[in-house]
Every structure is written in C-alpha cells, then in structure tokens.
Amino acid sequence: MSGNSASNKSDKSRGNGRAGAISRRRLIGTAGTAGATGLVLGAAGGATGYAATRDDPPTALTSVGSTEVMFHGKHQPGITTPLQACGHLVAFDLAAGAGRKEAAALMRRWSAAAQRLMAGEPATGSAADGSAHDTGIALDAGPSSLTVTFGFGATFFERTGLASRRPPGLDPLPPFSSDHLDAGRSNGDLWVQIGADDALVAFHALRTVQKEAGSTATVRWQMNGFNRTPGATARPMTARNLMGQVDGTGNPKPADSDFDKRIFVPGGRDAAYDWLAGGSYAVVRRIRMLLDDWEKLPVGQQERVIGRRKSDGAPLSGGTETTAMDLDKVGSDGKLLIPDNAHARISAPERNSGAAMLRRPFSYHDGIAADGTPDAGLLFICWQADPLRGFVPVQRKLDRGDALSPFLRHEASGLFAVPGGAAAGEYVGQRLLES
C-alpha cells in the first residue's frame, strides 16, 4: 500500500509536542509499564484506577491500541484489514438540493477526518456544523486498528448528475425467498463502514462522520456490530458467529493468485467506470438468526446443517479447519458425510462455477423482546469485483435448498460501489466527482 508521506506526516505531528494540541495517541501514564501485573491489579480493585491518574511520563501503547492502518493506498482500508472488535455501519441520503458539488465537499471532509482519526489524531477541522473541536470521546487512545470505508449506492449517481458513470455492478439485487426486507434500513446514497479494536475509538469515528455530514446528508440507517477482541484467545483463530460456528474458513486469501481478480475491480475496461479501479462492491445484509430454534438442535444436527464440526470448523469429511472438503466422501452407511443440503456444500466455490466473495461480517445484538426472543444475528458484509458473479449466484443457490435457511431471516439489504483508495493528497471518490 502507498501513502508513506501521509504516515510520515502523522508521525511527525505526534512527536513534535505542538502547543495546545491534544493527541488521541497520548496514553494514560502507566499503561505500558503495568504489563501482566496491571491485569491482576485491575481484578483486585482500585489500584489501577489510581495509577491511571498519576502524572507519570507517557509510555508506549499496548499492541491493540498502537496498531495503525494506513488511510492512503491502492484500496480503501477495511476490506482486507483483519476483523476488528467493534463496528458501525451507517448509510446517508443526500439532502434535498445537495448535488455533485456538495457531495464532493462532503467526501473531502470525510476523507480528511478519516485520515486523522486512523492516525490516532484528534478530529479537529472544519466540521460542517460549525464546531471545530474534537469531542474528546477517544482521548488517550491509540489508533486501535481504526478503519473508515466509504461507498456509493445506486441512487447517489442520479442525485449528483452522474447517472452515466453508474457501474453496471450496481444493478439491483434480485429478490430472495428468505428476504423480509425493511426498506427504511436498506440501501442509501452513501455508506460508511467503521471498524476498530476499541469501542470508544469506533464510536468517536461514527460521531465525527455524522457531524461532518452537516446539512449535506442525513442518516438513513445505522447498525452496530462486534467481533471477538484480538488477544481474547490463546492463539489467532477464525471468528465464531452467534450460532457458535467458526465463520470465514472458506474466505479467499490475499495470498491466492486470483484474489485481486475476485475481490477488486480492474481498471482499463471502460473509461466511464475507471473511477472504480482498485475498488470493490460491498453487499450488506442484516441477517437475523433465529437462535431459539437453532439452539434446540443437538450439536450433531447443527454440524450436519453447516457441514463442519462445531468444535474446530473442520469439514465433516475429515481433517482440520483448513482441510479441503471432500464433497464426495460417504460414511459406512453409504450416505454423504457432508449432506447435500449442508450450507458449506451449497456455498462452496466449486459448486458455484468458482463464484467467491470475501466475507467480513460483524455480529449484532439489538435487544431482547418481551417474549425473550433475542434480536441478534449477523451484519453480513461481503466484497467482490462483481456482485452478479459473486454474491448473487451463491445466494440464489442457497435460496433453493440451504439447510441453514430456516434459521435465518434477511431483514435489510444494501449494495454499494466502493471506490479505490485515495492517493496522498486526494479524497475518496475524487476521480468520480471531479472528472
């Protein structure tokens, strides 16, 4: 990824002790020296509370807080970035009368704010609501792997007078039998994905994006998600979803020779869409999991629905999590070890003419109903170079006979074109809005 000049600028500003500037990366006094002992003191009571207020010299950030993702690069951050612990998804609609000029100014503000926040700096700047001060929500925290990713919905192009530049990949998704879609929580002119390994850092970014929108755009819908916190397991592991299943084993890997071809839009095919080169398409689905029904199934039956062992994600045909599925292997009874309607079988690329997508979801929980039913599930986000060759054919096949479908309900949906990354000195979407 490119962007050394931006990174150097950030490092310089954090180290030169500018008068009056409060860096979000300045840590509480003893965080770096407490080490493992600090964990014990924290469990014991107020000792660390006192230590955290002492006026000791700043010390190094912990590994979680110090991790910084670069804003500038060939691709936007938040696509191949490892899963973060906290996430916010928010869609905006342009206000009446706002067009291309206003959208360009908004993307310029958003990009500038995202660059600062991802570098661990305060969000000071020319906020659209007239306030130029940082809210202080994330003071003393480091970047915490924060990423901010921007996308455009199909309606964005009509409202900015750019209908001729709308790529064919933004054609509407077809309906599916498991859809129970809420239009008010679907689609949108603009989409922002925020992820971080600290909840306050993530909320700080969300609040900044909202403030910078000002009168140019209003929130259409917003969703909150989470994943396992880095370091919570003895070794790095594939995430689990709220059904308890290892989720993401079959994802394409950046090391794969065809990864870029599957996930990112190439340039040079059509000048009208070259603004999307290096970008991708995001399909966003709020998928409710019917957990009460799912949890009534014995573990063995859950495994047959998925096609993988619950304990370690290994295919029922044998091996470990990363062992390739043997879709033809049968047991002593002559039956397929991975049932013909198992989710892993039906969604496998080899059963979908090679169709693949990079799934990068967050779990969500939005409360418990009066009858005790949890409103919980998956904020499904998948990335691909062409949704008509990625998400759509796989979902069509799942729609026709997936054993998991009775335990899921798709309640919201969106499709967004995500431009390539911004070069140093550019803002996201500049190649579209200023061409």
Q: Which residues are catalytic?
A: 247
Tell how strand 147-152 and strand 362-368 pair up.
Answer: unpaired
Which among 173, 211, 120, 111 has a CA at the least distance from the CA of 428?
A: 111
Cα gap 250→327, rounded to integer Å = 14
Q: Output the CA–CA distances (angstroms, integers) from residue 27 to 115, 138, 147, 254, in the order listed.
A: 20, 11, 20, 33
Burial tier of 229 (Cβ tally within 10 Å: 0-12, 13-18, 19+): middle
Cα gap 375→163, rounded to integer Å = 37
Residues 6+ apart with CB under 8 A from 268: 274, 277
- Radius of gyration in angstroms for the set of CA atoms belonging to the chain, rounded to a whole number: 23
Is there a contact between 346 and 402 (Cβ–Cβ < 8 Å)?
A: yes
Note the Cα 63 to chain centre separation in Å: 21
Cα gap 288→243, rounded to integer Å = 11
Provide the angle, in degrees to the nearest 10, between the axes of the packed helices 100-118 and 199-213. Answer: 160
Cβ atoms within 10 Å, residue 363: 20
CA dihedral of 382, 89, 237, 281, whole degrees rounded to 10:
20
CA geometry: angle at 43 spanning 42 and 45, to 5°? 70
Cα gap 312→13, rounded to integer Å = 45
Cα gap 102→51, rounded to integer Å = 48
**Helix extents (H) in 74-221:** 100-118, 154-159, 199-213
Cβ atoms within 10 Å, residue 398: 21
Is there a contact between 325 and 317 (Cβ–Cβ < 8 Å)?
A: yes
Query: What is the DSSP code (8-state) at residue 11?
Result: H
Cα gap 169→76, rounded to integer Å = 18
Cβ atoms within 10 Å, residue 258: 10
